[in-house]
Amino acid sequence: MAVDVLSTADGRLKTAKSRAYAAEWRESRSRGKAIEIGTSTPPDFPARPAKPELLNPRDVPKRRPGTEAGRIALLHAVAHIEFNAVDLHWDIIARFGHVPMPIGFHDDWVKCAEEESRHFEMVCDCLESMGSHYGALPAHAGMWRAAEDTADDLMGRLAVVPMVLEARGLDVTPRMIDVFRKAKSEQAVAALEVIYAEEVGHVAYGSKWFHFLCGRENADPKDVFHQMVRRYFHGALKPPFNEEKRAEAGLPPDFYWPLTEDLPPPGRSE
Ligand SMILES: [Fe+2]
Ligand SMILES: [Fe+2]
């Protein structure tokens, strides 16, 4: 199921499959007969549609959020993040099937994948009601980097994807909601509020299973987190942080503040 989602290029088809498989999983769990966790080899790179064109982030044109074109560009970037997030959650299930984990691990990531699928669809609906669509603009080419870098390391994957990248979403989403509130774009505000609320859960699942693995190895979670982020994440963490939502998601300040010190000296790019 996970590999089928990863191998599907079209956005709406990918998310439809993702939601159908999530429902199947949930139904099997509620009957007390969980679908067997098999093993399968996920693709190194998930299938991608012909559009959007994927560019180096430096070459993705920046637009001001004060304009309609700027707001479309912002939502397009969010759609691209959600699209990749669907694949990231199915990838963790498929790629680490050989690591023995409690069944709740699978429940959590299936639920996240299902939520990301809805996030993608809601943001696509917004783009379409603004006369655009996912694929109309170029998008960031580096989205799969974190998955590649941590393909052999479940602890690294949890540290970098939910606990760094998805936590970053908690920092930036409130400002985005403000942009659309000012523009009286109610549909976008509603979509972003769902995303904001549900992403707390994704970070929390990351923190929960990261702590679980550290506990199983009798390792200090904070130290291991610092090691993993320094090994696999390129660049420093950038404040300001949403400390309240991060705390709600099980991410205390001593996990992320020390990693801001890795910022390169001014004038030098990473
Ligand atoms: Fe999301
Ligand atoms: Fe997420």
Provide the angle, in degrees to the nearest 10, between the axes of the packed helices 68-95 and 186-216: 30
115, 57 contact by CB (below 8 A): no
Q: What is the pLDDT of residue 57?
A: 84
Among the bound ligands, name the one nearest to the CA of residue 117. Answer: 1
What residue spans of the chain are helical by DSSP H?
2-6, 11-30, 68-95, 103-129, 145-149, 154-160, 167-182, 186-216, 221-232, 243-248, 253-256
Q: What is the pLDDT of residue 269?
A: 46
**Pairing, β 139-140 against β 54-55:** parallel
Among the bound ligands, name the one nearest to the CA of residue 204. Answer: 2
- Cα(265) to centroid(ligand 2), Å: 31
Provide the angle, in degrees to the nearest 10, between the axes of the packed helices 167-182 and 68-95: 150
CA 122 to chain centre: 16
Q: What is the pLDDT of residue 262?
A: 61
Which residues place a Cβ less than 5 A from the ion ligand 2? 85, 166, 199, 202
How confident is the chain (270 residues) per 10-residue block, as mean pLDDT?
A: 98 98 97 90 96 92 88 97 98 96 97 98 98 97 94 98 98 97 97 98 98 98 98 94 98 96 56
